[in-house]
Amino acid sequence: MDERVAPAWAQRHNERRRAASNESRPDRVAMWAVFLGLFAMVAAAASAQASSGGVGDGAVPPVSGECPAVEFGQRPLKLGDCGNDVQTLNWLLKSKPLGAAVPPLPEFGDSTDQAVKAIQSAAGLDTSGVVDAPTRKALKKGMLKQTASWYGPGFFGNETACGQTLEKTTVGVAHRTLPCGTKVTFFAHGSWATTEVIDRGPFIKGVSWDLTAALAQQLGVEYTEKVRAAAVSG
């Protein structure tokens, strides 16, 4: 007897194992095909959503709920809208040059609508209540034209007069008399920015504002120059 030949029971056992293995392979292949198909569907859906939701085609990404994350001036605003750009609008309407009785909230309500229509009427525009490019231009004209400088290098890591640590990424502004935390909207070089008073200064005659380096970069301010500014009244 050749000892290398396995017993009959062992041969039958091995045959059953091979048969079971061969029968299971199609099932495994089919299962992996299902998984790959589902993965491809999810990837395609994500790609379609990204392509349809980019800022370039007019869409804006959501922040929370229905409010988008978009800077003021990047879309028309109307009654019922919300977002940080609407809050900028309300800050602007409530500022000292304009003085509208609107809440400084990220919601375009009835009081905002009435204030916008009043601005449009005074500027000879159609009183639609929609904040479009001509209306933004009218709002800009209502802001004070003042001189601003900027600071940062040599002061990073120091504490501001309002108790913050000044960093390269700190967005804020210094003013000689306005209370700490006063909200201010700026316009320069086609860009809008909203921030708060966080420091004291500038101490140069004829200069009203001292922008942090990060805020100056956001507004495109490289030198001491004129900007549009509006501080929220108490």
- Does one domain contain both 88 and 166? no
pLDDT at 234: 58
Instruction: Give the pLDDT band (50/70/90) at residue 58.
Output: very low
Question: Is residue 60, in this structure, part of any structural domain at all?
Answer: no
pLDDT at 90: 93
Segments forming the whole domain that contains residue 94: 68-140
Is position 23 within any domain?
A: yes
Q: Are 198 and 170 in contact (CB under 8 A)?
A: yes
Do 148 and 215 share a domain, yes or no? Answer: yes
Same domain, 134 and 163: no
Query: For residue 205, is pLDDT > 90?
Result: yes
Q: In this model, does residue 3 exceed pLDDT 70?
A: no
Check whether residue 109 and residue 174 sit in a common domain: no
Say yes or no to pLDDT of 136 above 90. yes
Do 171 and 159 fall into the same domain? Answer: yes
Give percent of the chain with pLDDT exceeding 70: 71
Where does the pLDDT of residue 50 fall: very low under 50, low under 70, confident under 90, or very high at 90 and above? very low
Q: Are residues 135 and 151 in the same domain?
A: no
Domain annotation covers residue 177: yes
The answer to whether residue 28 scores a pLDDT higher than 70 is no
Average pLDDT of 190-197? 94
Contacts of 94 (CB under 8 A, 6+ apart): 100, 101, 102, 104, 232, 233
Are 217 and 150 members of one domain?
A: yes
Domain boundary among 90, 117, 140: 140
CATH code, 150 = 2.40.40.10
Better-scored residue on pLDDT, 71 or 151: 151
DSSP secondary structure letters along 158-221? SBPTTSPBP-TT---EE-SSSPTT-EEEEEETTEEEEEEEEE----STT--EEEEHHHHHHHT-
Q: Is residue 163 part of a domain?
A: yes
Question: For position 116, which CATH number holds?
Answer: 1.10.101.10
136 and 157: one domain? Answer: no
Please indicate, yes or no, if residue 123 is contained in any of the structural domains: yes
Structure tokens at 70: 């978009």
Provide the token pair at 58. 């007019």
Taking 50 as the threshold, does the pLDDT of residue 38 lie above it?
no
C-beta separation of 160 from 199 below 8 A:
yes
Over range 27-56, report the average pLDDT.
40
Residue 63, in any domain of the structure: no
- Nearest of 89, 90, 84 to residue 61 by alpha carbon: 84
Q: What is the largest CA-CA distance in the chain?
A: 113
Strand, helix or coil for residue 131: strand
In a domain, residue 16? The reply is yes
Provide the domain count of the chain: 3
Residues 120 and 157 in one domain: no
Are 113 and 156 contained in the same domain?
no
Is the domain of 184 the same as that of 121? no
CB 175 within 8 A of CB 146: no
Report which of 205, 206, 207 is spatially closest to residue 221, judged by C-alpha positions.
Answer: 207
Q: pLDDT: is 195 or 96 the higher one? A: 195
Q: Is the peptide bond before 202 cis (omega within 30 degrees of 0)?
A: yes
Q: Indicate whether 175 belongs to any domain.
A: yes
Q: Give yes or no for residue 8 having a pLDDT over 50.
A: no
Looking at the chain, the whole-number percentage of residues with pLDDT higher than 90 is: 62
* pLDDT of 15 higher than 70: no
- Mean pLDDT over residues 109-124, rounded? 95
Buried b (16+ CB within 10 A) or exposed e, 185-219: bbbbeeebbbbbbbbbbbeeeebbbbbbbbbbebb
Indicate the residue among 120, 140, 160 that finishes a domain. Answer: 140
> Could you tell me the pLDDT band of residue 233, with boundaries at 50, 70 and 90?
low
188 close to 220: Cβ distance less than 8 angstroms: yes
Q: Is residue 174 a contact partner of residue 199, using CB atoms and an 8 Å limit?
A: yes
Question: Among residues 81, 108, 140, which one ends one of the domains?
Answer: 140
pLDDT tens digit sequence for 207-221: 999 999 999 999 999
**Domain identity same for 40 and 73:** no
